[in-house]
Amino acid sequence: MTDTITSATRGGRDQDFLAPAARLRGAGIGGLEELTDLQRSERLARMREGSLGSIHSWELVTAVDGPGTRMTIFFNGCPLRCLYCHNPDTFLMKDGEPVEAQELLRRMRRYRGVFRASGGGITLSGGEVLMQPAFARTLLRGAKEMGIHTCIDTSGFLGANASDEFLEDVDLVLLDVKSGDEETYKKVTGRALAPTIEFGDRLAAKGVSIWARFVLVPGLTSDPRNVENVARIIERWGEAVERVEVLPFHQMGTDKWDALGLDYQLRDTRPPEPELVEATREIFRSHGFVVH
């Protein structure tokens, strides 16, 4: 995004709910050198050591993905299969472009003034950033060495991949809590809820700031009991939770599912009515959260 997209249009990649127009435009890896000629074995070795990553795209955004103006980098590869995902083209790591950590760090350095002036920084998103923890760590460490604010956007499912040292370099986590009860979580993502809760518990214990996010899909995640359970999970994390963001589902990823020949099950699902969005936000407010 784009300042021109207001909260009214908010609504995946989860972050697509926040900036659909800009995201779907597909910034790509413009300006970054792509290393397609590397041998596969060398590529894997460099990915393991964290100097090379598989990324979908990067972009400069304002007022989404964390505070201020941010350089958001979208990683390829995700262990979840959210029914509402707006970027199924990030599902597989092999579909991303190989990009050097140094390339991205050079670019971050260039934007330091913008980050400083806007109170922004970098956000590592996806896909799932914790699919490539070594690469993420190189970027986070490099950013911290330049005094840049760091954020990761994650489902927490692979939270065990983030070591304590890794978390030392993370200022903020956008933590997606995709459902509050086990059964719905499994239905939405294909995976288990427990790792997200455990990861949130760890972040809270370490004092890492959390912006909790919940995607509101009518008929799928919207049951007030499910929302109440999400609120109870987030409540466990106490003071670490700076805000809760309720992101209304929208239908902007359909074409990608079709293009990939995947079965998109939410074709007939409508975006939530404003009343439902408000009622859902109210549930979170009733738990004392600052809600966006």
Rule CB under 6 A: which residues touch ligand SF4? Answer: 12-14, 78, 80-82, 85, 87, 90, 126-128, 155
Neighbouring C-beta atoms of residue 109, cutoff 10 Å = 13
> What angle (nearest 5°) sits at the alpha carbon of residue 25, between those of residues 22 and 26?
100
Q: What is the DSSP letter of 214?
A: E
CB nearer to ligand SF4: give 204 or 215: 215
| Contact (Cβ atoms closer than 8 angstroms) between residue 138 and residue 50 | yes
**Side-chain half-sphere of 216: how many Cα atoms within 13 Å?**
28
Shortest Cβ 74–ligand SF4 spacing (Å):
9
Question: What is the smallest separation between the CB atom of 126 and ligand SF4, expressed in angstroms?
Answer: 5
Q: Is the bond preceding 121 in cis, omega lying within 30 degrees of 0?
A: no
Q: How far is the CB of 254 from ligand SF4 (least distance, A)?
A: 14
The nearer residue to ligand SF4, 73 or 78, going by C-beta atoms, is: 78
Burial class (CB in 10 A: 0-12, 13-18, 19+), 47: middle
CB of 87 to ligand SF4, least distance (A): 6
> Which is closer to ligand SF4, CB of 111 or CB of 199?
199
Under a CB-based contact definition with an 8 Å cutoff, are residues 216 and 277 in contact? Answer: yes
- Minimum distance from residue 12 beta carbon to ligand SF4 (Å): 4
Q: What is the DSSP letter of 244?
A: E
The enclosing H or E element of 52 equals: strand 52-62
Cite the beta strand spans of 111-148 per DSSP E: 121-125
CB-nearer residue toward ligand SF4: 142 or 159: 159
Of 46 and 70, nearer to ligand SF4 (C-beta) is 70
Shortest Å distance, C-beta 78 to ligand SF4: 3
Q: Which is nearer to ligand SF4, 14 or 171 (CB)?
A: 14
Shortest distance (Å) from residue 49 CB to ligand SF4: 25
Smaller CB distance to ligand SF4: residue 14 or 245? Answer: 14
**Cα(74)–Cα(120) distance, rounded to whole angstroms?**
17
Q: Report the C-alpha gap between 252 and 29 in whole angstroms.
A: 21
